Amino acid sequence: MINKIRAQLVQNASSILRPPMHFIPQVVQKKIMLDSLLLVFKEALEDGDFEFLTDKWLKVEIKDMQLRWFISYQHGRLVIVNKSVQDDVSFSGDLNDLVLIAGRKEDPDTLFFQRRLIIEGDTELGLEVKNLMDSIDFEQLPKPMQILLHQLADFVHKGMSVPNTEHEVIHAYSN
């Protein structure tokens, strides 16, 4: 029963979360996104690892949430805008898949080849972004963030791996 509830929550997460997310003002969304990136990539920013993104734009899109942000590195700092700009590379996927990547439950390459993670645009720039994401040392993140990412990704992973037994039962009776 709990597995069925978890599967339903995971399956419907974007439709449950989309309406309240669109009520959050874009300036607040942008602040949360920027603060999160500054925390996650603190060491990479200090080491100058974002210089490859200077005057270039990365679009990050959560397709099923209808959310998108444009990220760049300008004048030695990360910049995020919500309005459309000409992006050089684009990463897009559904909420659950991006949670799995963030929590290290799925490999971005695997999801890319399954066409669940879409990377478009400048291939070299996309590879640099992917390598930067892979270089994140989760042990350097605050413990609460580590726990949250791990538990959320674990919840999604288990919810996505529950077979749809209702469909199987209906299909068995229809034969």
Percent of the chain with pLDDT over 90: 66
Percent of the chain with pLDDT over 70: 92
pLDDT for res 163: 67
25 vs 27: CA distance, rounded Å: 5
Residues 28-46: tens digit of each pLDDT: 999 999 998 998 898 899 9
Which pLDDT band holds residue 146 (cuts at 50, 70, 90)?
confident
Both tokens of 131, joined, read 């390598």
Residues 6+ apart with CB under 8 A from 125: 52, 53, 56, 58, 88, 89
Residues belonging to the chain: 175
Residues 1-160: name the CATH superfamily: SCP2 sterol-binding domain (3.30.1050.10)
Look at residue 166 and tell me whether its pLDDT is greater than 70. no
Which pLDDT band holds residue 173 (cuts at 50, 70, 90)?
very low
pLDDT for res 174: 37
Domain ranges for the chain, please list them: 1-160
Residues 18-28: tens digit of each pLDDT: 999 989 998 99
Q: What is the pTM of this model?
A: 0.84
